[in-house]
Amino acid sequence: MRLKKIFYYIFLLVILPTLGSCSMTKYVPKDQYLLKNVKIKATIPDVNNEELKGYLRQTPNNTILGFWPLKLGFYNASSEDSTKWSNRWLRRIGEPPVIYDSLKTIYGCDELQKVIFNKGYLNANVTFKTTINPKKRHAKVTYSIEEGEPYRLRNYFITIPDSSALEAINQREKPLIKPGDLFDIDRLNEEREQVAKMLRNQGYYNFRKELLFFYVDSALNTHEIDAELSIQPQYLDNDSALQIIFTKKEIENVTILALKDNDLLKNDLELDTFYQNNIKVIYNKKNKAFRPKALINKTSIQPNRFYSDFIVDRTYSRLNSLNAAKYVNISFTENSNNKLDAQIVITQNKPHTVSAEIEGTYSGGDLGVGAAIGYKNNNIFRGSEILNININGGYEAIGSLSEYQSAWDIGGEASLTFPTLLMPMTKDFRQRSTGTTEIAASVNFQQRPEYQRNIASAGIKYNWRWRRVNFTFNLLDLSYIYLPYMTAAFKDKYMRPTSSIRFSYEDHFIMRWGLGINMSNRRNMTFNTSSFYTFRTNVRTAGNLLYGISHLIKQQKNEDGVYEIFNIQYSQFAKADIDFAYNWYLTDKSRLVFHTGLGVGIPYGNASILPFEERYYSGGANSMRGWAARKLGPGNFYNSSGSIDFMKQSGDIKFDLNLEARFRLIWKLEAAVFVDAGNIWTIRDYAEQPTGAFRWNEFYKQIACNYGVGLRLDFDFFVIRVDMGIKLYDPGYPIESERWRTDLTWRDDFALHFAVGYPF
């Protein structure tokens, strides 16, 4: 089927029912008008006209791509017969027409006046003009803002009737307000909040931002204002109130009550107490929910220290990071010594979880089934240590009924995660960071017609967060691959002495370490619509320690010229990945997402090629979406077999460049339009992968390109995604004139992907 026909049917099935079903003014009452458009004309620096529309009382119906009122189209496609489910459904997902209201327009004008006034344009003038089209029954409103000359701060003072508090305020590194700034009321409120927050972090427990207010005085005809931040007048002449406000509070006692939910309902509850570092932990003696020392180590609130909001928030964060914690509450009371007593209540979550799942698989025309069962204990040692045990297996039917073969695998993994970093560290670092230590091991046994393969792995991994950056450090990561059997045909194809990829199917051992960094400036993962970026990088190496030992002890190499450990060759390589994505919100319902990724792996020393599990591949739902997974590259490599050759279509270098526009349609439904570019390459020339090696004078000609569309169901916490990618430039075609894909076919040029989560 040709591309024109595809879009033709999409147009008939989707667009025409919403655009051509009826007039956009079908449900606009007689003698009233549909609000078609609203414009704001203003040239105020640092003020976005689109953001100003958020203050209006009335705006037009939502549109897609700035012109298509899809929701209104669905609403208009319904009839007034509410007994039909189709009409109720269309109205539920649709949006009724916005009727022009002159009173709301006047209110909107007043709101814009207030917003501009708060930005320092005290003499601004806001007017509006309404244009009516009686024939089309449309109304357009244009707001015009004449801002005039802004007012600026000439002098700014802080007068606090307490020398210690005033000195602390004046020592701030970055005050929000300084002379010469615009008289921005929103900025002044931020200054008030910052001062109050800073004083509370200094121990002034009874201080609140509501105690502060601004005196302002404008000089005649100068457009300059003097501002003074001070205490509310009613407190200035009240010495007892000032003493309460400006007395720094010290924490005297810290008590932690650690129980299970059902403990609170018991009449015969027998409590016991544990003391350490002047912190008291109360718990159920017969059924201890938490190990007291584990809770104390997660508590940043300490006796004999001044109160601080920051320390309280940190304690909340650290205790809530415990998987075994269900509920955490922190409160303070003033005692007879004029000090604070802290009470922390923490209850335990369900410690045991059992899960089971079964799935069907379809790969390359072969059907299969998989199953898994898992057990999780969130509090195995009473310190929120997590024990995970999983057992999984799968079976796949390969080939036709007449030539039936099968493949199966079974495996298991176990991990133990501690809610702290089990490494030497300073007390300050332990208190400031939130980290875990994971010890894991796994085994997997695979039986295929071509070979048997057994895989075992084990490792120690640290995860921690410092400020807004997440770190992952693999202190030790061991992998052992053992193939006890393979067919003669498989050996002849992959295990010849000249084969550069036979290492991936030989017994081999990998000992590696790595460091990963992940950071983002996104503040709210669910509801935030401010533009944000994410950045990830990983660096890992393998085999260096073993190679150094082999070289030091003058170990003899085998007949292939490599070192072995326990008669098994070990791999040696270095690998680095960088991934960056930027989400630019155009409106609250549309955004552009830019993504780029680069990865390079270099085998050296004891290895001539990267292990298969470390090599890159291209194509699939999260990469080049015009290709199926592992169907692109490396370089100009052309796969004439028609099936996926996992080893040959992998490489040592990967580059991705993606641009995607996402639009919220109706309900949870989102549409996307995207363009992808990229490929993979090998770091060296390999006979099995001709034209796959990276070369500076050739690689840019080998960058593939595709475009496509997608639909997503965004449920905030997870996303179900369908993307259709269409090839634009395919470097794998031997004839260069065929690489630009203008005559499209379903078989060669389209790829459909189902996935969970955004691609980047």
Residue 16 has pLDDT above 50, yes or no: no
Task: Quote the tokens at residue 450.
Answer: 């071509």
**Counting Cβ atoms within 10 Å, is residue 303 exposed (0-12), middle (13-18) or buried (19+)?**
middle
Residue 45 has pLDDT above 70, yes or no: yes
- CATH code given to domain 615-760: 2.40.160.50
Query: Average pLDDT in the 463-483 region?
Result: 91
Looking at per-residue pLDDT, the higher value among 434 and 289 belongs to 289
Digit-coded pLDDT (tens) for 554-571: 999 988 888 988 888 899
Digit-coded pLDDT (tens) for 634-653: 999 877 665 566 668 889 99
Q: What is the 3-state secondary structure (H, E, C) of 119-160?
A: CCCCCCEEEEEEEEECCCCEEEEEEEEECCCCCEEEEEEEEC
Task: Quote the tokens at residue 432.
Answer: 């400031």
Residue 702 has pLDDT above 80, yes or no: yes
Confidence of residue 11 (pLDDT cuts 50, 70, 90): very low
Residue 130 has pLDDT above 60, yes or no: yes
Digit-coded pLDDT (tens) for 156-190: 999 999 999 999 898 888 888 888 899 999 999 99
Instruction: Tell me if 256 sits within 8 A of 278, measured CB to CB.
Output: no
Q: pTM for the complete prediction?
A: 0.77
d(CA 637, CA 633): 5
Confidence of residue 681 (pLDDT cuts 50, 70, 90): very high
Digit-coded pLDDT (tens) for 293-329: 999 989 999 999 999 999 999 999 999 989 899 999 9
Looking at per-residue pLDDT, the higher value among 504 and 238 belongs to 238
Residue 1 has pLDDT above 50, yes or no: no
- CATH code given to domain 250-348: 3.10.20.310
The ranges assigned to domains in the chain are 3-146, 152-245, 250-348, 615-760
Query: Average pLDDT in the 28-50 region?
Result: 86
Confidence of residue 73 (pLDDT cuts 50, 70, 90): confident
* Helix ranges, 502-608 (H): 544-552
pLDDT in the model for residue 21: 43
**Lowest-confidence range among 11-15, 206-210, 445-449?**
11-15
pLDDT in the model for residue 66: 67
Query: Average pLDDT in the 392-401 region?
Result: 77
Digit-coded pLDDT (tens) for 357-389: 888 765 555 678 889 999 999 999 999 999 999
CB atoms closer than 10 angstroms to residue 350: 12
pLDDT in the model for residue 333: 95
pLDDT in the model for residue 524: 58
Looking at per-residue pLDDT, the higher value among 403 and 439 belongs to 439
Buried b (16+ CB within 10 A) or exposed e, 13-36: eeeeebbeeeebbebbeeeebbbb
CB atoms closer than 10 angstroms to residue 686: 20
Digit-coded pLDDT (tens) for 589-601: 889 999 999 999 9
pLDDT in the model for residue 131: 93
Confidence of residue 742 (pLDDT cuts 50, 70, 90): confident
H/E element, 452: strand 451-466
Sheet holding 138-146, edge to edge: 34-41, 138-146, 125-133
Give the side-chain half-sphere CA count within 13 A for 189: 5
CATH class as words, domain 3-146 = alpha beta
Task: Quote the tokens at residue 732.
Answer: 């794998």
- Among the four given CATH numbers 3.30.420.40, 3.30.9.10, 3.10.20.310, 2.120.10.70, the one describing domain 152-245: 3.10.20.310
Q: What is the mean pLDDT of the chain?
A: 87
pLDDT in the model for residue 362: 59
d(CA 639, CA 499): 18
43-48-51-57 Cα dihedral, nearest 10 degrees: 0
Q: Which of 741, 742, 662 lies closest to 709 in space, CA to CA?
A: 662
H/E element, 564: strand 564-565
615-760 has the same fold as 250-348: no
